[in-house]
Structure 1
Amino acid sequence: MSTEIRTKRILVVDDEEHIRKVLSRALMAQGYDVATAANGEEALLKASESPFDMALLDLKMPGMGGLEALQKLKEKLPGIVVIMLTGVADNESIVTSSMAKGAVAFLTKPCSLADLKETVSKAFGSGSPSTIVECSRGS
């Protein structure tokens, strides 16, 4: 009986192309299999084509926003780990609502790549870090 170790798959969803590129490069450098989507609708389409272990979801996007995409992704892939991305983390009701819908962490943009890597690693390692990370500016 052979055991196959599968690379964790992460979907990065953000309407800003440069954010998608930076995040996906950093995650690929860590050995993850990364795909990107520019909005919630595209994220759901990609999730229906192939399952993901994690999604990094921007909160504010044109069309389907992050909260709606979070809810629909969790319906489609109940085991997916979701980390929300936002430019502003001072709205407690949005954070609470995201966590209630299944997000395990919140990253404030822009964030350092070290904070990104740590948050993703913790989310995969412990399952639910339930944290809000105020990321500092930097690489």
Structure 2
Amino acid sequence: MKSKIMEPVILIVEDDDVIRKTLSEVFLKKGFRVLSADKGKDAIEFVKAHKVDIMLLDLKLPDMNGLAVLKNMHE
């Protein structure tokens, strides 16, 4: 019987569409499951709803800065 290995999940939080899409494509090709968000509040909701193994987080987002996102996730 073959065991099912889950792909690591990466969350890319970046408001620049080109950068976010490029990073998503790179990590998809490497075998990651990719979630992406362009706002800090969306990233916080993704982390509440999904198990995320790695997060790439832009520090300058339109609705809040990346450090505020991290603080909110740890509360």
TM over 0.5: yes
Q: CA deviation at 1:33?
A: 0.3
> Distance in 2 between the 1:72 and 1:51 partners?
16
2:57 maps to amino acid: L
Give unpaired runs (5+ residues) of structure 2: none
1:37 maps to amino acid: A
Aligned to 1:62: 62
Q: TM-score, normalised by structure 1?
A: 0.49
Q: Does 1:49 align with 2:31?
A: no
Q: CA deviation at 1:68?
A: 1.0
Q: TM-score, normalised by structure 2?
A: 0.87
2:61 maps to amino acid: M
Q: Looking at both structures, which has the greater relative contact order when contacts are Cα pairs under 8 Å and sequence separation is at least 6?
A: 2
SS in 2 for 1:52: coil
Pair member with larger Rg: 1
Assess if the C-alpha contact under 8 Å between 1:39 and 1:65 holds in 2. Answer: no
SS in 2 for 1:15: coil
Q: CA deviation at 1:3?
A: 5.0
Identical-residue share of aligned pairs (%): 35
